[in-house]
A and B are shown apart, each in its own frame.
Chain A
Amino acid sequence: MNGEIWVVCDAEGTGLSGCSCELLGKAQALSEKGAGTVCAVWFSEIPPPAQELASFGAVRAYAACLSDADEYGKARLLARLAKTHCPQILLLSATVQGRSVAAQAAALIGTGLTADCTGLEIGPDGKLVQIRPAYGGNLMARVTCPGSLPQMATVRPGAFSRCRPFNRGCCAVMDCTSEKSLENPVRLLETIHLAGAQTALGEAEIVVAGGAGIGSARAFDQICLLAERLGGAPAASRAAVNAGYAPYSSQVGQTGVCIHPKLYIAFGISGAVQHLAGIQGAKRIAAVNTDPKAPIFDYADYGIVGDLHRAIDLILWHTS
């Protein structure tokens, strides 16, 4: 197929974000299966890092100078460019902003969109197969978009491994700034930086996580203390976040981050599949739960049946 695979890339500092490198790496793998050539979409006030984009396999970059907060403008320009250039596949990172841009752009283009994919493949008919958790994360689903183009998906950060620069080619930059249309109707008033953000979680060697079983926000403070003591990062399951014990920024799993620490310690997490999908990349998984039948034990290397509060106290005492 002679089409293009578009990857909407995000800036981090003056270069490519980690999520974007993951996506470009995956796009390259799809390209090698005959899905088309890899192109980057770069909407940022930071100039496109052409050399870096090239090193991750992008042969062309559709670039426009847009404010990072301008999801409205990004969605509209993306839709316009996609209608003009007709890419086969269009991928975005499933960050909060990426999802919003993707949803608006897909509706403006009039094509299907699959959220939060954890896997992408090329099917025997050359179509993109998008794999995502479904039904509350209890199942995985293979989704296709047979009747319309582009085949559009958001991909969960951390779902694919981050590749190293592999290419020595060059990336031709097409400046599309003049095609951008309206002023952003959503005015950015203030940006507040959060402590304990997800990037720390994505890169921590030890992650200490609490689930619904921790029972209180105070217990999550203990989880944070233990994480700090072990030189790691605290995390929470969706159930703990929903219950208000932990902040959303600490959520692992579906709609949260994927992580790949050397050790993951789960306290009071029963093991819903979307959470398990988020921790697949952990080298070692340890779990503490009062229920010996909790699904998490099936996916753990080390399991302890017992009261998590006592376990936390014991570890804290031994490491003090």
Chain B
Amino acid sequence: MKQIPSSATQGFDPDTNTLIREQGTLMTNLADVYALESALTLAGQDGTADVFTMGKSSACALLRDACALGAKGLFLINDPLFAGSDTFVTAKILAAAIKHEGSYDLILCGRRTLDGETGQVGGQLAAVLEVPCVTNVIRLEQSGERAIRCTRLLEETRQMVETDFPAVVTVCEGVEEVGHPRLPSLRGIRAAGHAQIKRITNETLQLNPGSVGLAGSFTRVEQTFLLAAGRRRCKPEPNLENGVARLLTLIESMRIGGEER
């Protein structure tokens, strides 16, 4: 799971060409909330769901929230060496941390984060761990003792697939078939307050410092810029009826081919 700035979901101010940022507000990435929900449902009474997050100490809040919902093991992967990691390096670090903590049946991730939006970490994690990967899942259920059955959303189809444990599955956000994320119980909130969070640093993982963080990342962001092209700058019509009438005229002219150019 990942803690992201809530500004990632906000827009920018076209007057000043600057990002709208509320300093310091953080949230849990939405798809990850659904991934946790799926994990808790699958774990049920007999299994356990552990949460790994890589980030700053502020991500302890994410882990406590997850604990209040029923997560057992809480792992914060946190080391200054890891700062600036691209998706591949992030996957390598996550894989090392997960391996270090023992065995697992299934790894669930959000299908993408709302800030980075690459949707790559799940697939890369699966490849690093040498396990199968099922992405963009909207529904999942256990199939027999050692397999998982998933419904995935593709562009034009839905696929139902099955794979054996261990595997990586990435879960879609906002799709109700995964199940509405549960709310914490009072007992859960109390437990979360004094839950043990285990911090995993590179002292534990022993990765080559040159292979992690910014230094180990293959991709480089050279420059960022605001999308300036494509501005058409209309003057919005304040009168709804007049506006609709103009729009209808436009649609009508398109229908008779008047807009062909």
Contacts and interface: CB of A to CB of B under 8 A. Distances in A.
B156 interface: yes
A137 interface: yes
B111 to A, nearest CB: 9
Interface in A52-71: 69, 71
A314 B220 contact: no
A219 interface: no
Nearest to B251: A230
Contacts of B244: 304, 311, 314-315, 318
Interface stretch (B8-16, B62-70, B71-79, B197-205): B8-16
Contacts, number: 291
A101 to B, nearest CB: 8
A96 B134 CA distance: 10
Interface of B: 7-12, 14, 19, 30, 86-88, 91, 112, 114-128, 132-136, 149, 152-164, 167, 172-176, 217-227, 229-241, 243-244, 246-248, 250-251, 254, 259
Contacts of A103: 87, 119-124, 127, 133
Contact of B237 (A104, A139, A303): A303
Nearest to A231: B255
A299 interface: yes
B226 A140 contact: yes
A199 B155 contact: yes
Which 6 pairs across A and B sit closest by C-beta, in order of nearness?
Answer: A103-B123, A112-B218, A304-B243, A303-B236, A306-B240, A136-B8
* A-side interface size class: 35 or more
Interface stretch (A25-33, A34-42, A166-174, A285-293): A285-293
Nearest to A232: B251
B133 A284 contact: no
Contact of B157 (A138, A186, A194): A194
Nearest to A186: B163
Contact of B164 (A144, A185, A197, A254): A185
B120 A191 contact: no
Contacts of B240: 304-307, 310-311, 314
B248 A315 contact: yes
A235 interface: no
Contact of B134 (A136, A186, A192, A319): A186
A123 B37 CA distance: 44
Contact of A99 (B126, B135, B238, B243): B135
A277 B117 contact: no
Given A188-B161, A299-B230, A137 B117 contact: yes
B241 to A, nearest CB: 7
Contact of A189 (B117, B123, B126, B160): B160
Contacts of B164: 185
B8 A135 contact: yes
Contacts of A115: 87, 117-120
A138 B224 CA distance: 10
Contacts of A304: 236-237, 240, 243-244, 247
